[in-house]
Structure 1
Amino acid sequence: MTSSAAIDNVLAQVDSGLERSLERLFELLRIKSISTDPAYAGECRKAADWLAAELTELGFAASARPTPGHPVVVAHGPEQAGPHVLFYAHYDVQPVDPLDLWDTDPFAPVIREKDGHKIIVARGASDDKGQMLTFIEACRAWKTATGALPLRISLLLEGEEESGGKNLPPFMREHAEELRADIALVCDTDMWDRQTPSITTMLRGLVAEEVEIAAADKDLHSGMFGNAAHNPNQVLAGIIASLRAPDGSVTLPGFYDDVAEIGPELKAQWEGLGFDEQAFLGAVGLSVPAGEAGRSVLEMLWARPTCEINGMSGGYTGDGFKTVIPARASAKISFRLVSGQDPDKIRAAFRTHVESLLPADCTVKFTPHGGSPAITVPADGIHLRRALSGLTAEWGRQAVITGSGGSIPVVGEFKSILDLDTLLIGFAQVDDQIHSPNEKYDLESFHRGIRSWVRVMGALAE
């Protein structure tokens, strides 16, 4: 068990060592670990080796492990009583294009002022090097102040998250016994607002499908064949239109069979977050929610499944006009799933629905583009409650439980491969401009992120 005096000493170490922590962050930010570009493979290796060396210095058994792509850094702290946590982050970054939109060199980190607070500007400052180092620097502060970590800690640091992460799942399967723990921690998400920490416990799953409708064996003149020949564009448009009912619900048979309502306690907490639906939609030039009638926007985004048309193609789309009936038309369609829904079942229901609407002389081809189930962490879990208490103690505001409309594949892989629930705890802000020019991370996010992990580690160790 960790005492409050011990935690106070560690927090004092964080504060006194902040300047050196920033120096280490800047060292890592200067490494151009762009995973998607083969020209930067050496830089990715350099970042992995840097992390392995830092963790070794902290007393971890750490190494940069080879994969068919970029290395995976694995580190294990000493065996000790209490829960065993597996921390995940990624050291690779997005490309910096367009370079001319950056105010400064993206790999020459600087501290600037913005809206009255200090920010760290560099590629990877928020996504995910700054976030990753909040945890590592918290480990450093514990070691420096007390001589030991408060609980057993392992780290799994990926080098391909920004380029698909295809080599991590087989690595995890190969090393599953080594990587097993009691809970996974991920630092790659936002706070609810600038002063309210959050833990994301719900991630939607995903089914991505490409559908192509074909009719005639060649493009046809719309005057010579109009009315007489099926138009794949029209057939596909009808199928797409049939996927949503007027009330915004998805029409696939059985789509909602396994969807549960959120509990009243969680619903009340979401209602108390002060989320401004009009401002959320207004920021992108919209005003009226388009999902299921009678649902709040947060429910639509976090707790309800959806169907979206991500792209459509068919016929002539160039400049001018061409009177053609295309031989083929295609669309890319995705379904975001919630807990309980089976991606294979939803994919099969979609295909059956399309086939049932296919007229004579038309054929369909389906191309899958991945699928993953939704993830939900039990709201009454002991690790979640302790982590919430640590965050609340640091920020002086009740930490909140949030969902995410997006999908984070590694969280699903932790569950399916390692049977691990995951707590997503991040300190980024919504205006960090990740993946964009002038990416930034608030200095407060970095400083108090380290302090937050100190408290969360202490709380988990109790």
Structure 2
Amino acid sequence: MSDRLSDVLAHIDSDIDNSLERLFRLIEIQSISTDPAFAGACLQAAEWLADALKGVGFDAGVRPTPGHPMVVGHAKEGAGPHVLFYGHYDVQPVDPIDLWETDPFAPRIVTAADGSKQIVARGSSDDKGQLMTFIEACRAWKAVTGKLPIPVSILLEGEEESGGPSLVPFMKANKDELTADFAFVCDTGMWDKQTPAVTTMLRGLVGEEITITAAKRDLHSGMYGGAARNPIHVLVSILDGLRDENGRITLPGFYDGVGELPPAIKAQWDALGFDSAKFLGDVGLSIPAGEIDRSVLEKIWARPTCEVNGISGGYTGKGFKTVIPSQAFAKISFRLVDKQDPDKIRAAFRDYVRSKLPADCSVEFSPHGGSPGIRLPGDLPALVKTRQALTEEWGRDCVTIGSGGSIPVAGDFQSVLGMDALMVGFALDDDRIHSPNEKYDVSSYHGGIRSWARILAALSEKAQS
């Protein structure tokens, strides 16, 4: 069916105004998942999407969960790999409302200073605009040829912005139905406005909260100072020992499973023109931290970390109180890459803390999440075809990039459904997601639809050859 691609692209171009109108109707639904007052709106958004998929020829429906419903659709036609597309229809709250220039759920197109057109509304980028690019590409293929080039399933979630508690149980309960050859996740972005990207590396996460206790109560520093153990001293000494003078993390076995960046990927990243001085300068910094022999881009995309996210103890109110506290607290997170084992990292951290603890102190641990990192092989056939399709659409080489953060669903696809996830999206760094006046460039929306049309065609080519 790839011989019909030019007709499909022409249809997308001629129908873009109708496509935008459909996106606007979805955006107008106030599907804020974190607020129970909007549960009805979340159901409304799910029903709207199920109807939209049915209108495109999918066997689709709304599936209940203990929380907000899922939307599942199948169009198992065409030849080639079976793909599962994932997006989410829920959005973040709009607070602070007074910083919005207009109604957050009344989408509008504005002209930016550079002349570009932008869709401004809550959910325009995260994630309604993104997921609609795929649905609209499917719509175009069906309108022109009557069917899709490859078998497609769609899973749309309604709780991504509120922690996704129903997703993994739903995936486990419907494993046979949802398992495909691989998945696409659209909740990502481009390298810049002209350069498409596929995110192939994600960092995992291990979070730990520790409480160190010394004396059985807070002590007067005049009466006990110099004789009694101060748990804050103990805590900061332990935290300080987590890194050496070269910025490497000292936990035994911490770097087990951390592979080196392939030379081709490193060369590609070096050619991106990433301005590390501006990256740090924008937040008032100038000197890179972390491993001294790594570039800033490599540090945030492909290297593991250990960060102290919070620390407290003793008197922190106004004025001054001369106290030796009984307890000290800290929150520590590790970003993991490649094949690092979250359970082993957590165990190594706890063993390290216990080994540094004085005999008259005790420690309590509270875990906060644990997920591995993800790195897709560069020669994955679906990745190669996807990159080629994106390069053809945007006229610039598609780059493979990493993400310093975590996208849990990508790991869930691997651990629950046993399949890789390619992360393809068209958001931009300045889309202001989760913030007032969120926007999505019309070029991202239009180009995203055309891109997915090309990707579907490219994935069908082997079956046709």
Normalised by the size of structure 2, how large is the TM-score?
0.98
| Unpaired runs of at least 5, structure 1 | none
The one-letter code matched in structure 1 to 2:229 is H
Indicate the residue corresponding to 1:305 in structure 2: 304
For residues 226-275 of structure 1, the C-alpha deviation after alignment (integer angstroms, 9 at most, x for no partner) is: 11111111111111111111111111111112211111111111111111
SS at match of 1:134: helix
SS at match of 1:131: helix
Indicate the residue corresponding to 1:195 in structure 2: 194
SS at match of 2:125: coil
CA separation in 1, counterparts of 2:22 and 2:322? 62
Indicate the residue corresponding to 1:166 in structure 2: 165
For residues 324-364 of structure 1, the C-alpha deviation after alignment (integer angstroms, 9 at most, x for no partner) is: 11111111100000111000000000000000000121100
Residues 136-215 of structure 1: pairs in structure 2 closer than 5 A: 136-215=135-214
Indicate the residue corresponding to 2:36 in structure 1: 38
CA separation in 2, counterparts of 1:408 and 1:316? 37
The one-letter code matched in structure 2 to 1:260 is G
CA separation in 1, counterparts of 2:73 and 2:112? 36
CA separation in 2, counterparts of 1:40 and 1:224? 56
The one-letter code matched in structure 1 to 2:380 is G
CA separation in 1, counterparts of 2:140 and 2:223? 77
Indicate the residue corresponding to 1:286 in structure 2: 285
CA separation in 2, counterparts of 1:124 and 1:218? 50
Indicate the residue corresponding to 1:321 in structure 2: 320
Q: Contact between 2:77 and 2:148, CA under 8 Å: does it hold in 1?
A: no
The one-letter code matched in structure 1 to 2:425 is G
For residues 97-156 of structure 1, the C-alpha deviation after alignment (integer angstroms, 9 at most, x for no partner) is: 000000011011111111221100000000000001000000001111111111100000
Indicate the residue corresponding to 2:64 in structure 1: 66
Q: Contact between 2:258 and 2:338, CA under 8 Å: does it hold in 1?
A: yes
CA separation in 2, counterparts of 1:329 and 1:40? 40
| Unpaired runs of at least 5, structure 2 | none
Q: Contact between 2:130 and 2:427, CA under 8 Å: does it hold in 1?
A: yes
SS at match of 2:211: strand
For residues 196-230 of structure 1, the C-alpha deviation after alignment (integer angstroms, 9 at most, x for no partner) is: 00000000111011011011111111111111111
CA separation in 1, counterparts of 2:62 and 2:405? 29
Residues 217-296 of structure 1: pairs in structure 2 closer than 5 A: 217-296=216-295
Indicate the residue corresponding to 1:12 in structure 2: 10
Q: Contact between 2:76 and 2:153, CA under 8 Å: does it hold in 1?
A: no
Moved over 3 A (4+): none
SS at match of 2:2: coil
Indicate the residue corresponding to 1:97 in structure 2: 95
CA separation in 2, counterparts of 1:294 and 1:371? 27
CA separation in 1, counterparts of 2:74 and 2:222? 71
How many percent identity over aligned positions? 65
The one-letter code matched in structure 1 to 2:97 is L
SS at match of 1:88: strand
SS at match of 1:364: strand
CA separation in 2, counterparts of 1:109 and 1:326? 53
Q: Contact between 2:79 and 2:149, CA under 8 Å: does it hold in 1?
A: no
Matching of residue 113 in structure 1 with residue 111 in structure 2: yes
CA separation in 2, counterparts of 1:349 and 1:274? 37
The one-letter code matched in structure 2 to 1:370 is G
Shift of 1:279: 1.0
Indicate the residue corresponding to 2:2 in structure 1: 2
Tell which deviates more after alignment, 94-103 or 225-234.
225-234
SS at match of 2:135: helix
CA separation in 1, counterparts of 2:179 and 2:77? 13
Indicate the residue corresponding to 1:53 in structure 2: 51
SS at match of 1:135: helix
Shift of 1:290: 0.1
Q: Contact between 2:87 and 2:127, CA under 8 Å: does it hold in 1?
A: yes
CA separation in 2, counterparts of 1:124 and 1:80? 32
CA separation in 2, counterparts of 1:333 and 1:355? 15
Q: Contact between 2:63 and 2:70, CA under 8 Å: does it hold in 1?
A: yes
SS at match of 2:109: strand
Indicate the residue corresponding to 2:389 in structure 1: 390
The one-letter code matched in structure 1 to 2:446 is H
CA separation in 1, counterparts of 2:328 and 2:48? 49
Matching of residue 28 in structure 1 with residue 26 in structure 2: yes
For residues 422-446 of structure 1, the C-alpha deviation after alignment (integer angstroms, 9 at most, x for no partner) is: 1100100000000000000001100
Shift of 1:377: 1.0
Shift of 1:78: 2.8
Indicate the residue corresponding to 2:123 in structure 1: 124
The one-letter code matched in structure 1 to 2:436 is P
SS at match of 1:355: helix
Instruction: Say how many residue pairs are matched.
Output: 460
RMSD: 0.8
Shift of 1:2: 1.8
Normalised by the size of structure 1, how large is the TM-score?
0.99
Shift of 1:291: 1.1
SS at match of 2:73: strand
